[in-house]
Amino acid sequence: KAGVTQTPRYLIKTRGQQVTLSCSPISGHRSVSWYQQTPGQGLQFLFEYFSETQRNKGNFPGRFSGRQFSNSRSEMNVSTLELGDSALYLCASSLEGRGRFSTEAFFGQGTRLTVV
């Protein structure tokens, strides 16, 4: 069974540009969440999608957006990149993502974004 796949693994962008990152969840998983990981702020929740709808959102500016497709694959977009956006972006998928008996979240290897 394939794990969570994130593409690309590494990315270098220039300030002011925009970037799109992709996440393919484990087959059958309907919940996809995104996290930003930096040395200074650690792991921070960006947003979660379930059945193509954003169900939860963290405290990030509107430059960060995402979407989910009917096959549960998800993309996140960052517009007008800033140097501080340099980070490891992690995607996680789970079957449901909610509820007492919901299942484990599986993380991808991440996309390392460097803004220069």
Partner 1 sequence: AQSVTQLGSHVSVSEGALVLLRCNYSSSVPPYLFWYVQYPNQGLQLLLKYTSAATLVKGINGFEAEFKKSETSFHLTKPSAHMSDAAEYFCAVSEGSGGGADGLTFGKGTHLIIQP
- The residue to which tokens 């998983």 are assigned: 29
> Of these, 2, 83, 104, 116, which contacts partner 1 (CB under 8 A)?
104
Cα–Cα distance for residue pair 60/66, rounded to 1 Å: 12
List residues bridging with 54 in a β-sheet. 49
User: Rule CB under 8 A: is residue 102 a binding residue for partner 1?
Assistant: yes
User: Rule CB under 8 A: is residue 55 a binding residue for partner 1?
Assistant: yes
User: Rule CB under 8 A: is residue 48 a binding residue for partner 1?
Assistant: yes
Cα–Cα distance for residue pair 112/36, rounded to 1 Å: 10
Residue ranges in contact with partner 1 by CB under 8 A? 4, 31, 33, 35, 42-45, 48, 50, 55-56, 58, 90, 92-110
